Structure 1
């Protein structure tokens, strides 16, 4: 039951609604009961004072002494509805002239409060049977003799009436709680219908139905943020699944090419006897293809790690010009082979993971050297901005069509075979650059205007980062 209560929203809301109704009904019932009881007690007290006044008037009339001696019960019956009152008339010296008390009840005799006592002079008492009563005393004259009149009454019928009233209030509270439970169940069943539709739609979600969306037009305003979030989640899932499907197809294609090459070459070599030199050539070719596969796998592992939001970089203060020069020195030999020059310029300081920065720059410079026209200069430039440092790599060569610029940082995306080196490129270099920039909270951009193509890495460069506080080192840097 406890587990069911925690898990059922409808049950919790229903019980809470029933509790609220029951408490409200009980509070209203208590208020009405107390108001009713107070009014009845006030009415009875007024009647008790009226009874006292009636006895005082009768005692003051001529012949009252003879009437008292002959018919004492007359003083009990002077007022309609007060026939069961208890009346005692006592002289100043304590002589009891009349004591109308058939049941022999013992009740307190308060001090006389004059000829016109108020409600404050009334005292309470209880009979032997536990029935509450009220008593009041006042002064009167019997002819020339001053006397004290005591009037008391037990309210058994009032106590029974109060008990019946309490029972009715309890019954009304129970009926109200039961009605509230039924109404709450019906209300929740109807009110939670949009949630059930969301659950039914979620149960039908699969790769082929990701394009379907929940209709928000008829949804309650309270559920619209949930439906918006659910539809947005479906959109992200659809996009992610499409990307994953495309990536899987690209990955299979990229892996198939070197594997097919190795299988074909090996089958040809095994078709007939070969010389030692031919086998060595085959092994060298297979090793080249395996190295390409290893680079591709290593790049995929890095991208998978970089996609984790919890990755923390080993940031340290870096001088932009020094990083550019370091990468330029590494590619100096390759550039000379292609008849190119590497030129570094600019200044700036920022905080980043040095290994990842060099890897990103190396990918950009490698692409620039491969695709630059012979005899041109590849320019590596650093420029400080407001809170940022931009590192750019610019080369002159075949322009990149505008339609391809927005896709260059996607995995396995190649503009055309002319800009792809099958032996040296895995199609993941620019994806790695983009992932590295995302890890640093920066961005990578590309501009291709005529023969000039410029890739730019924009790093944040604020004082907090330049403080040099180290974090965890990301593997694969």
Structure 2
């Protein structure tokens, strides 16, 4: 799937959205201003039309108006119309047309005249469309002519062709303004985004430099936008975790190679020595027995590593049960009784209650701790298995008397292949994965494993959460 290109450009998409917003806002504002402008012009034109009607009504009421109409009709027409698009028609009550100013022969509608003494408002104005397609407005009213007064109907109309052209030009100005605004917005948005995304490009450039062994480089948060600070801190934390994981993986690989090399070297050395000259059947039997021990140790180590690998998979599902702690302690004590007697040790079980755990995993974790305690306990002492309820859940512990573990080793005891003895003198009796397996089991149960050691005793604890 293509991940780069115009269709996936954040700058382009944000610019297009920004331009669309500016165009819509500009168009909306332009439409609002256009409608307000049109409404105001139409209102003013209606006021002028009504003013012209009142003017003619007043002029017709003067003495001698009829004589002026008869003697100088052209003068009256010019005075009354004022513009070519103004239409004036005056008709006496008997139907005689005194004036008919209609240069283009428009067909005027015949609205009901407003009474002579009634004020003509905007409601008396009617609209129609001229024969050229322009909007037009007309109003009619009655008036008195001359002395003695005679009644006549006045019709005043106006065709707004020039106004339509002005509105069209105004609309084009709005369209051009919206287009220019969108273009300027596109340019400014692109420039703004190119500048604003500069820190992201710096992050991308830094990420491109990340290599195994170069994970210590941290992103500089100084001067970064506030919005990017969480991302920078998260990336720095991720790099720190990667660096720690890479260091642990490198150390694990070295320890694994060492742990595998020892039994393999023993197997090769013993076999080569045995094959150097003819041996008796007893000597060959002894060699095979020794090789079997080394192979069993390798097998245990491989099984332990496979278990640790499976334990790290999130899809691993536990089937927990409510297990009586005292029964589990007694089961383990019975299993390890022979090994404890060999070292002149006693086993004691204290406490009661239940713990929610997967039976086999619980027994394996307690078994690892108990075998470790028996191996390091002082001869003639007692190894104690204890259970007690805490506010956090159920705590199981295994304690033994013996030399205290130095404090600098305590934080690392649960690491794979870690031994407090730098010379690894006890490597033949242990794979170095027992406590790491205990930690993995407790993590699967949502709990934790801990250790405390002093001159009095060394105690390993398993904290199970409340079920």
Q: How big is each residue's C-alpha offset from its partner over 1:425-458, in whole Å with a ceiling of 9 and x where there is no partner?
A: 0001011111111111111111111041111111
2:127 alignment counterpart: 124
Q: 2:144 aligns with which of 141, 146, 167?
A: 141
Matched, 1:280 2:285: yes
Distance in 2 (alpha carbons) for counterparts of 1:74 and 1:59: 14
Give the whole-Å Cα distance in 1 for the aligned partners of 2:273 and 2:188. 82
SS of 1:160's equivalent in the other structure is: helix
Contact 1:371–1:419 (Cα < 8 Å) also in 2: no
| Displacement of 1:6 | 5.2
Query: By how many angstroms is 1:372 displaced?
Result: 1.1
Q: How many Å apart are 1:208 and its aligned residue?
A: 2.5
Choose the corresponding residue for 1:331, options 324, 332, 336: 336
Aligned equivalent of 1:242: 247
What CA deviation, in whole Å up to 9, does each residue of 1:306-360 have, x standing for no partner? Answer: 1123322110001111111111110001111111111111111121111001001
Q: Which moved more, 1:243-252 or 1:373-382?
A: 373-382
Runs of 5+ unmatched residues, structure 1: 466-477
Distance change >3 Å, CA 430–CA 81, structure 1 → 2: farther
The Cα offsets for residues 244-290 of structure 1, whole Å up to 9 and x where unpaired, read as 11111111111111111111111112222222222221121111111
Q: Which residue of 2 aligns with 1:169?
A: 174
- The CA distance in 1 between the partners of 2:227 and 2:455, in whole Å, is 54
Tell me the equivalent position of 2:50: 49
Distance 1:99 1:271 in 2: 141
Any conservation in 2 of the 1:380–1:394 contact (CA below 8 Å)?
yes
Mapped pair 1:450 → 2:455: yes
- Asked if the contact 2:81–2:87 (Cα under 8 Å) also holds between the matched residues in 1, the reply is no
Name the residue aligned to 1:473.
none
- What displacement does 1:83 show? 4.7
- Of residues 218, 221, 224, the one that matches 1:216 is 221
Which SS does the other structure have where 1:125 is aligned? strand
Q: Is the 8 A contact 2:113 2:140 kept in 1?
A: yes
- 1:114 counterpart = 2:118: no
Deviation at 1:230, TM superposition (A): 0.7
Q: Secondary structure at the match of 1:425?
A: coil
The 3 A distance-change label for structure 1 pair 318 and 256 is: same
Q: 1:4 to 1:76 in 2, by over 3 A?
A: farther
Asked if the contact 2:337–2:347 (Cα under 8 Å) also holds between the matched residues in 1, the reply is: yes
Q: 1:443 to 1:218 in 2, by over 3 A?
A: same
Stretch deviating more after TM superposition (154-163 or 73-82): 73-82
Q: CA deviation at 1:420?
A: 5.3
CA distance 1:76–1:47, shift in 2 (3 Å): farther
Correspondence 1:354-393 to 2 at 5 A? 354-393=359-398
Of 77-86 and 57-66, the range deviating more from structure 2: 77-86
CA distance in 2, matches of 1:185, 1:437: 54
Instruction: Tell me how large the CA RMSD over aligned residues is.
Output: 1.8
Tell me if structure 2 keeps the 8 A contact 1:364–1:393: yes
1:352 aligns with 2:357: yes
CA distance in 1, matches of 2:388, 2:211: 48
Taking the aligned partners of 2:90 and 2:4, their CA distance within structure 1 comes to 72
Distance 1:71 1:280, change over 3 A: farther
Tell me the equivalent position of 1:71. Answer: 72
Distance 1:417 1:137, change over 3 A: closer
Query: TM-score by structure 1 length?
Result: 0.93
State the TM-score, normalized to the length of structure 2. 0.95
Whether contact under 8 Å (1:303, 1:435) holds in the other structure is yes
Report deviation, 1:66.
Answer: 2.0
State the alpha-carbon separation in 2 of the partners of residues 445 and 84 from structure 1.
Answer: 101
Structure 2: distance between partners of 1:387 and 1:186: 56
Query: What is the CA-CA distance between 1:81 and the residue it aligns to?
Result: 5.0
Counterparts of 1:124 and 1:376 in 2: how far apart (Å)? 115
Instruction: Report the Cα distance in structure 2 between the residues aligned to 1:211 and 1:123, rounded to whole angstroms.
Output: 83
Compared CA separation, residues 79 and 225, structure 1 to 2 (3 A): farther
Q: CA deviation at 1:29?
A: 0.4
Q: Distance in 2 between matches of 1:340 and 1:425?
A: 20
Count of residues paired in the alignment: 462
Measured in 2, the distance between the counterparts of 1:433 and 1:164 equals 84
Aligned equivalent of 1:91: 92
Q: Say which is worse superposed, 451-460 or 31-40, in terms of deviation.
A: 451-460
Moved more, 231-240 or 80-89: 80-89
CA deviation profile, 1:150-181 (whole Å, cap 9, x unmatched): 01110100000000000000000000000000
1:77, CA displacement in angstroms?
2.6
Q: For each residue in 1:353-389, what CA deviation from the matched residue of structure 2 results, as whole angstroms up to 9, or x when unmatched?
A: 1100100110011011111121111111111222411
- Comparing 133-142 with 188-197, which one deviates more in the overlay? 133-142
Change (3 A) 1:39 1:161: same
- Cα offset, 1:419, TM superposition: 8.2
